[in-house]
């Protein structure tokens, strides 16, 4: 099993979010070639600002191994983590993050902010971008296109924000 295999598992998680009309972002955490945590974005349906895919996956992984330090673990995530999630990766001492696509608005792994590799903090994360990039980007773009159509047809003024 390789990075593409595990990123496809993260994409499966993203698809679960899409079914709930959530922005389709998914994540898995892998240790010794085994998935120990999974998560997908549930911010709107869960009414919880912290329910990002990465946070949910970290909580599950910590629970599974019975420790807050996720040493020797890699996170696979379909969109670049925001400040909260990049901070959580640092706090959990994750070794490596494989990120499908950059987030030009809130990405905190080098695109808008650099938290994941910030030398001022006590842990830095090895980063790799671009695994399954086109597929992950397409899923998100398609979601927003569909959402705009839905809103236009339904004159629904609810405000979906990332």
Q: What angle do CA 5, 8, 11 make, to 5 degrees?
A: 160
- For 59, counting Cβ atoms within 10 Å of its Cβ (0-12 exposed, 13-18 middle, 19+ buried), the class is middle
Residue of 13, 22, 54, 60 marked catalytic: 54
Q: Does 119 bind a copy of itself (CB under 8 A)?
A: no
Q: Does 47 bind a copy of itself (CB under 8 A)?
A: yes
To the nearest whole angstrom, how small is the minimum distance from the Cβ of residue 87 to a copy of itself?
A: 3
Q: Does 104 bind a copy of itself (CB under 8 A)?
A: no
Query: How far, in Å, are 84, 96, 110 from residue 116 at the CA level?
Result: 11, 10, 8
To the nearest whole angstrom, how small is the minimum distance from the Cβ of residue 21 to a copy of itself?
A: 14
Q: Is 54 a catalytic residue?
A: yes
Which residues make up the interface to a copy of itself (CB under 8 A)? 43-44, 46-52, 55, 58-59, 62-63, 66-70, 82-88, 90-93, 105-106, 108, 112-113, 115, 118, 120-122, 161
């Amino acid at each position: 099993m390789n990075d593409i295999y595990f990123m496809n598992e993260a994409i499966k998680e993203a698809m679960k979010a899409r079914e709930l009309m959530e922005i389709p972002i998914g994540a898995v955490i892998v240790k010794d070639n085994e998935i120990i945590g999974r998560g997908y974005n549930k911010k709107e349906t869960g009414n919880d600002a912290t329910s990002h895919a990465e946070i949910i996956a970290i909580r599950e992984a910590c629970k599974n191994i019975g420790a807050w330090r996720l040493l020797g673990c890699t996170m696979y995530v379909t969109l670049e983590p925001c400040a909260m999630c990049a901070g959580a990766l640092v706090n959990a001492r994750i070794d490596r993050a494989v990120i499908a696509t950059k987030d030009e608005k809130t990405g905190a792994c080098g695109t808008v902010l650099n938290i994941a590799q910030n030398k001022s903090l006590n842990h830095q994360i090895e980063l790799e971008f671009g695994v399954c990039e086109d597929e992950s980007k397409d899923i998100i773009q398609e979601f927003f296109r569909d959402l705009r159509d839905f809103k236009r047809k339904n004159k629904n003024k609810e405000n979906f924000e990332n």
